[in-house]
């Protein structure tokens, strides 16, 4: 009974993960490195994600993306640090998301 329950759980998790991983792989190339092919090999650029995109993707890992007008600029600063620590955000993600929220409130 116990083994059966765990097996079902693991099977379900593995199957769902594989399915959505496949989907995710095929649709998650928002950040792209591109190099020109006209002979200027040193001319490369990176399309970086905006704070708005990161706000949707990163906050949504645990909860709904917050309304920018819900807090003041100073509060978003403190909340950004809180979420960086709590949810394991990178420093760059945190800075971009906080800047977006401060500019949008």
Partner 1 sequence: MGKKLLLLICTLLLSAGPLLAQTYNEEAKQDLESLKPGTSNFLARGYSHAGFQSIDGNSSFVSGQYAPILMWKQGDRILFESELEIEFEGDGVQFALEYANISYILNDYAILRVGNFLTPFGAFNDRIHPAWINKLPTAPLGMGHDPVGPTNEFGAELRGAADLGNSKFNYSLYLSNGSILSVHDEDSTSAPEVSLSGLNFEDNNNEKAIGGRFGFLPFNNSALELGVSAQYTSNIANKDFDYGKVGMLNYAFDLSFVKNSIQPIKGNIDIKAQWNQSNIDEFELVLPDGDELIFDQKSSAYYTQIAYRPSLSSSPFLSKLEFVGRYSGIDLPEASEEHGDEPETTSPKVSENGTSNSLRLKSLFTPEVVGGGEEEEVHNEGDRTQIAFGINYWISWRSVIKFSYQITDNNEDTFSGMYLHYALGF
**Residues forming the site for partner 1 (CB under 8 A):** 1-2, 5-6, 8-9, 12-13, 16-17, 20-21, 23-25, 27-31, 49, 56-58, 60-67, 69-75, 77-79, 81-82, 84-93
DSSP label at residue 70: G
What is the smallest separation between the CB atom of 68 and partner 1, expressed in angstroms?
A: 11
What is the smallest separation between the CB atom of 44 and partner 1, expressed in angstroms?
A: 15
Burial of 54 (0-12, 13-18, 19+ CB in 10 A): buried
Neighbour count for residue 58 (Cβ, 10 Å): 21
């Amino acid at each position: 009974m116990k083994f059966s329950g765990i097996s079902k759980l693991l099977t379900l998790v593995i199957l769902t993960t594989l399915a959505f991983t496949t989907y995710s792989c095929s649709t998650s190339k928002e950040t792209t490195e591109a190099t020109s092919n006209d002979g200027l090999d040193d001319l490369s650029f990176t399309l970086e994600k905006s704070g708005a995109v990161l706000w949707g993707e990163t906050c949504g890992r645990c909860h709904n993306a917050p309304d920018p007008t819900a807090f003041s600029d100073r509060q978003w600063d403190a909340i950004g640090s809180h979420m960086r620590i709590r949810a394991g955000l990178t420093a760059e993600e945190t800075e971009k998301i906080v800047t977006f929220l401060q500019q949008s409130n």
